[in-house]
Amino acid sequence: MTTRHDVVIVGGGLVGASLAIALERTGLDVAMVEATPAAAMPAVFDQRNLSFAAATVNALTALGVMQKLRAPAGAIQRIHVSRQGDFGRVRLEAADYGRDSFGQVVVARDFGEALEARLAELPRLARYRPARFVALGEETEGVRELRIDTEAGGQSLHARLVIAADGTASAVRAALGIDTDEHDYAQTLFVARVRAERAPDGTAYERLTAHGPTALLPRGDRHYGVVHGVGTGETEAVAALDEAGWLARVQAAFGWRVGRLLASGERSAYPIRRVVAQRLQAPRALLLGNAAQTIHPIGAQGFNLGLRDALTLAELLQGEADPGAAALLDEYAARRAEDRSRTLAFSDGLARLTCSDAPLAGALRSLGMLVAGNTAPVQSWLVGGAMGFRGQVPALCREAGR
């Protein structure tokens, strides 16, 4: 039996679920295919701390998701960037830009629960889970066939538009034959919840060292979300450290700006690769989120960018008779080009500041030099990243009057 939908979203992670919510107001018949069973949360909704740019907070509030968060988010009122062995630093105050905050820190697990609560309110959304995308047919008569594996066996769906929101190793992207450009940063990021002598005061710290970045994000629960980058060769040794050894390591990399680090929760580790699709569109198919571009997390941009992918598409589909029309998909790719390339350059630029192979690090040798000589461009570069207003900004990202 074949079931037909206007739009089939493969992947119910951060971007796929957000897209499903954003598409509700278009009135289209939308389905979401997610490999994780209904009773569980997709693995991506783990203990990582997500820093939501102001544009993201605006949009998720308009979509009714922020209101579903049960744990308090942590406001980022200032950003402090420093580099080990360098007296220069960049300090940005949201108040100087007429804002209460640059964004909010939310734990991915809490965000997953909020998305799920909002998805449960969508009467029209068809959900296939656990269901794994396995294959794609050619376009015929204005639809594409997808094959999915469900608990009841194989099933066929017809979609006027297929969305690949199935993450970095996207099976849909592979089935479409879209190649990727990849780069291994030779870094692993460790993430944990940490308590320090001084509770968060709204400052997000980014500390750059030659071995990798260390960030402390102000969570809403009086803890910091620590992100600590290490070279691949050190991964096993860092994973094996006991709590005291781990805290001593982070303290040495980060310094004493929040006093002594007192206790740490469990650590999770993420090897870091950049994976960028060479095209965003194929007949009756689009790539969104990590399937389209997986970037270094240092600039906290991945989901923020993926959400803008989703919102742009939702805007374009509003009132459209054929959601998979070739001209519409081309328009989508054109609209995403500037934000995509600038955000990629931003994240890569920050990442390279911390890598030894870095041409950019050579050029921007010293943050001190940068700040002294070139303050305005650096600040607008960082603020642009932190707030998420880049390129053609989707309407839901803008507050009234801004």
Indicate the residue among 300 and 353 with the shorter CB distance to ligand FAD: 300
**Only segment of 13-21, 70-78, 136-144, 319-327 that touches ligand FAD (CB under 6 A):** 13-21
Among positions 80, 109, 132, 279, the unique one binding ligand FAD when judged by CB under 6 A: 132
Nearest distance from residue 15's CB to ligand FAD, in Å? 3
Does 339 bind ligand FAD (CB under 6 A)? Our answer is no
Indicate the residue among 44 and 383 with the shorter CB distance to ligand FAD: 44
SS (H, E, C) the chain: CEEEEEEEEECCCHHHHHHHHHHHHHCCCEEEECCCCCCCCCCCCCCCEEEEEHHHHHHHHHCCCHHHCCCCCEEECEEEEEECCCCCEEEEEHHHHCCCCCEEEEEHHHHHHHHHHHHCCCCCCEEECCEEEEEEEEEECCEEEEEEEECCEEEEEEEEEEEECCCCCCHHHHHCCCCEEEEEEEEEEEEEEEEECCCCCCEEEEEEECCEEEEEEECCCCCEEEEEEEEHHHHHHHHHCCHHHHHHHHHHHHCCCCCCEEEECCCEEEEEEEEEECCCEECCEEECHHHCEECCHHHCCHHHHHHHHHHHHHHHHCCCCCCCCHHHHHHHHHHHHHHHHHHHHHHHHHHHHCCCCCHHHHHCCCHHHHHHHHHHHHHHHHHHHHHCCCCCCCHHHCCCCC
Interface with ligand FAD in residues 242-281 (CB under 6 A): 270
Indicate the residue among 368 and 384 with the shorter CB distance to ligand FAD: 384
Indicate the residue among 132 and 398 with the shorter CB distance to ligand FAD: 132
Indicate the residue among 90 and 277 with the shorter CB distance to ligand FAD: 277
* 182 to 201: interface string for ligand FAD, x by CB under 6 A: -------x-x----------
Nearest distance from residue 319's CB to ligand FAD, in Å? 26
Interface with ligand FAD in residues 277-306 (CB under 6 A): 289-291, 297, 300-304, 306
Nearest distance from residue 374's CB to ligand FAD, in Å? 26
Task: Name the residues that contact ligand FAD, by CB under 6 A.
Answer: 10-16, 33-36, 42, 44, 48, 50-51, 132-133, 165-167, 171, 189, 191, 270, 289-291, 297, 300-304, 306
